Amino acid sequence: MSVSERQYQGILQVIECLSSGLDGREIRELAGVELLKLLRADYFASFIWTPDARRFAGHVFINMDPQNLERYSSYYQFHNPLSAKAQKFRRAVRVNEVLPQRELMRTEFYNDFLARDGLHYGLNLYVHDGDVNIADMRIWRSRRRENFDDSDLQMLDMIKPHFRNAMRNALRLHENSEHRVSSGAEMIESDRLSIERIRLAHGLTAREAQIALEIAYGKTDREIAATMGVAFSTIRTHINHLYEKLAVRNRAALVHLICA
């Protein structure tokens, strides 16, 4: 495959995001932003398959209505004519390889879910750890654009092994840190770990200490932003500063440090 300089740099930027050592949510958010640029797309969503519950969860999204995503989580993922078939390809796949566009546009899934946000042409990638689906990327263009072509598929397939390895490592880190986080929560309760104590112990501002405590309780960036009444981007900036100050690379390390 021949790629332009722009595409080559874009692929490297996505791979850099996937190699950042962040948690699974942050990895997908950062990579999603770069994928939209690389593929000249408009919308991005990513889910993690939970085999015990047999449902997609842990969604990350860009340029989509959160309420519409909640409708997907509660109803449309169970009435989705695409996902089960797209997973079988084990490669990047255009939605229209699964279902022709005209047929897709006649479905409830399209008219009452996709079209609400303007999603029209789709490109999906599901990655597996062995035979287990662990995460996906769902990239969409609006109707005003052209459909994805073979070069788009090939670029996403180049990114696939990096995405698989990043998510496999992130999920294993999450599993290994669950016990530490649980123990940390008990320590927070028993030792009355407070914002002031965190601030003094680690030389943080009061706001940074509050964010660190919210992370210890397992809240997502969006939940922390809502709790503190600030923009999501502001919380992301504070968390990056926290990582630098505390010399940690991810949430699990941060929780371990402040609960030690």
Look at residue 52 and tell me whether its pLDDT is greater than 70. Answer: yes
Q: Please list, in sequence order, all residues whose beta carbon lies within 8 angstroms of the beta carbon of residue 163, skipping any fewer than 6 positions away.
A: 18, 31, 125, 127, 135, 137
CB-side exposure of 25: number of CA atoms within 13 Å?
16
Averaged pLDDT, 131-139 = 94
Q: Each residue of 193-205: pLDDT tens digit? A: 578 888 888 888 8
Cα separation, 19 vs 203, in Å, equals 29
pLDDT band per the 50, 70, 90 thresholds, residue 109: very high
Cα separation, 172 vs 134, in Å, equals 11
What's the pLDDT score for residue 48?
92
Averaged pLDDT, 72-99 = 94
pLDDT band per the 50, 70, 90 thresholds, residue 238: confident
